[in-house]
Amino acid sequence: MINAQAAWTPTIRSASRTHCGKVRAINEDRVLDRPDIGLWAVADGMGGHLAGDHAAQMLVDGISRVEPHRSAFRYLSATLDAIKQVNAALFAEAAGDPQRRGMGTTLVALLVYDAHLACLWAGDSRAYRMRSGQLEQLSTDHSVVQNLIDRGDLAEQDRHRHPQSHVITRAVGVSPEIELEKTFSIILPGDKFLICSDGLSNCLPDDALADELISPLDSSQQADHLLERALGTAATDNLSFVLLHT
């Protein structure tokens, strides 16, 4: 994370929503919405009932116990350590319990220190930024389909029709070590951020997300409207997200 002193300290207003969707009976997503400490996260559990939701809850609980530090670097380091500890615990638990084999969870998290932003992720839960009317995806999916697109073997418009569209290549808890991808930036006045599980990004394309984020509604009203719009689609997966306004 950037250590230079920021020119301003943003006041961030956030709102989170999570829903089973219209098909699934169990919600395996979990969200963390902590503007008081500058930490937000979405975890999308996998492995079935009593496994995916358990993994996501363990991850959110683990990072929620991280306390703010006196430097951006130490805050980031403490958060990474907490994620690594949860990863090790989940992997050990799955190895010892046949009912929880394959248990794991995606993660996308935002940490804010003054005006410095760190985005961390593993899997296909996403982070977006709306700046000056333009929507940008900050994260890159860790998935079989994304690898095919990056190699030029699959067109972007065919992403959701591919038979392995839900196969991810990285997650917390499925390997002894976790490799998180990270990106850093400075927050500018007027920036908005969205972190979400793939249940949201799969049912609403980027142009629909941009329409929602560009609206003048406050964060809570915008979150309600976004969830309502997502539930107007097939909504076959759990829907979870956090909206951040500066």
**Span 6-15, average pLDDT:** 84
pLDDT tens-digit readout, 99-132: 888 899 999 999 999 999 999 999 999 999 999 9
Residue 125: strand, helix, or coil: coil
With CA atoms as reference, report the closest residue to 16 among 31, 29, 37, 36. 31
Assess contact for 60 and 66: CB atoms under 8 A. no
Sign of the alpha-carbon dihedral angle for 216, 218, 219, 225: negative
Q: How many CA atoms lie within 13 A of 175 on its CB side?
A: 10
- Measured in whole angstroms, how far is the alpha carbon of residue 53 from the centre of its chain? 15
| Domain 13-139+168-245: homologous superfamily in CATH | PPM-type phosphatase domain (3.60.40.10)
Which tokens go with 198? 């793939």
Question: If you count them, how many residues does the chain have?
Answer: 246
What confidence tens digit (pLDDT) does each residue in 189-203 have? 999 999 999 999 999
Domains of the chain, by residue range, sit at 13-139+168-245
Least confident of 2-6, 122-126, 212-216: 2-6
59 SS3 class: helix
Please, which residues bridge with residue 47 across strands? none
Angle at 44 between CA 40 and CA 46, to 5 degrees: 155
Q: What is the pLDDT of residues 153-163, one digit of tens each?
A: 787 777 877 87
Cβ neighbors of 222 (< 8 A, separation 6 or more) are: 15, 212, 213, 215, 243, 245
